[in-house]
């Protein structure tokens, strides 16, 4: 019984101290509809389409090939930006299973056709959430510029 009481006390103290939670983590997810984006990103949320999950997208170029109907293996190129316009990642000709990327990117690519290019704005809840992933800070909205090259 004494061990049980001690275990409950330790767990309670751990919860109060926030041990295990990153010090700058907040449960305040981003909302792209209320944010301002760097001018170089050319984001106008009012002109974008919102998905059922909450991503926003706009086609820059509609493709003419196969249509992506669900998350699957694709070949694509992308640039990843913070809302400040800072480029945080860039890949060319990557073969990737979209089931293994952040949910917002996968969701935002549904409906793209091969040869298309799309800008996708992903709220933090569908990206890296309150934890972030260096160099992406916690609760950051992510902007992807994606070119879908092939749906094998």
Percent of the chain at pLDDT above 70?
83
The side-by-side arrangement of strands in the sheet containing 73-82 is: 49-50, 56-61, 117-122, 142-150, 73-82, 87-97
Token pair of 92 as six digits:
């060319």
Residue 135, preceding peptide bond in cis (omega within 30° of 0): yes
Closest listed residue to residue 120, CA positions, set 93, 84, 83: 83
Confidence grade of residue 152 (pLDDT, cut at 50, 70, 90): confident
Q: In the chain, what are the domains?
A: 26-150 (3.10.50.40)
For residue range 119-142, what is the model confidence (pLDDT) as tens digits? 999 999 999 999 999 999 999 999
Predicted structure pTM score: 0.82
| Rg of the chain on CA atoms, in Å | 19
Q: Specify the 3-state DSSP secondary structure of 151.
A: coil
pLDDT value of residue 26: 57
The mean-pLDDT minimum among 18-27, 28-37, 49-58, 120-129 falls in: 18-27
Q: Residue 4 pLDDT > 50, yes or no? A: no
- Give the model confidence (pLDDT) of 92-101 as tens digits: 999 999 999 9
> What is the Cα–Cα distance from 40 to 1, expressed in whole angstroms?
63
Q: What is the mean pLDDT of residues 52-61?
A: 97
């Amino acid at each position: 019984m004494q061990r049980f009481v001690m275990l409950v006390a330790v767990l309670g103290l751990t919860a109060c101290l926030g041990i295990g939670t990153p010090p700058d983590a907040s449960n305040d997810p981003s909302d792209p509809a209320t944010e301002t984006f760097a001018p170089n990103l050319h984001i106008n949320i009012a002109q974008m389409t919102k998905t059922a999950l909450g991503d926003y997208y706009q086609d820059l170029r509609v493709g003419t090939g196969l249509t992506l109907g669900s998350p699957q293996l694709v070949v694509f190129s992308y640039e990843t930006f913070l809302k400040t316009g800072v480029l945080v990642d860039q890949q060319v000709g990557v073969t990737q299973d979209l089931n293994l990327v952040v949910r917002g990117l996968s969701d935002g690519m549904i409906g793209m056709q091969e040869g298309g290019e799309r800008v996708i704005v992903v709220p933090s809840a569908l990206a890296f959430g309150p934890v972030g992933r260096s160099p992406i800070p916690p609760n950051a909205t992510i902007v992807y510029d994606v070119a879908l090259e092939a749906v094998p």
